[in-house]
Amino acid sequence: VAGLTPDETITVEAGDNFFVQTEIEGNAGDVIEIIMQNNGTVTHNLRVAGPDNEYETGDDFESTPFAVRPGEQGRTVVKIDEAGRYLYRCDFHPLEQTGTLVLL
Ligand SMILES: [Cu+2]
């Protein structure tokens, strides 16, 4: 879905090693663009677990670029048709740097 025009844009700021926004909200079925602004001093990214809510499976949504350097932005384009709560994380700090995308 990376080439689709987004219906919504949400900004998530990253520090070392956390997301400022740990719960974000959107609409099920929309093309949602998540802009991750890396305000930290090390590399971060943003991966959404996808419809199955499991990481490292084929339905995940990863940021472009995969590794977002300090001061730069990554873009994760998400489209999930079912309402629910979906996990996201930074792959470099997967246990501490997490959040939830709530689709209504
Ligand atoms: Cu990180």
Predicted TM-score (pTM) of the model is: 0.95
CA angle, 95 then 22 then 93, to 5°: 25
Q: What is the mean pLDDT of each run of 10 residues along the chain (104 residues)?
A: 87 98 98 98 98 97 98 97 98 98 98
Query: For residue 15, how many other CB atoms are within 10 A of its CB?
Result: 14
**C-alpha distances in Å from residue 66, one per residue of 28, 38, 57, 69, 90:** 24, 12, 16, 10, 10
Instruction: Tell me what pLDDT residue 102 has.
Output: 98
Distance CA 63, CA 78 (A): 10
Å from CA of 44 to ligand 1 middle: 4
Å from CA of 36 to ligand 1 middle: 11
Å from CA of 67 to ligand 1 middle: 9
Instruction: Tell me what pLDDT residue 2 has.
Output: 67
Distance CA 24, CA 26 (A): 7
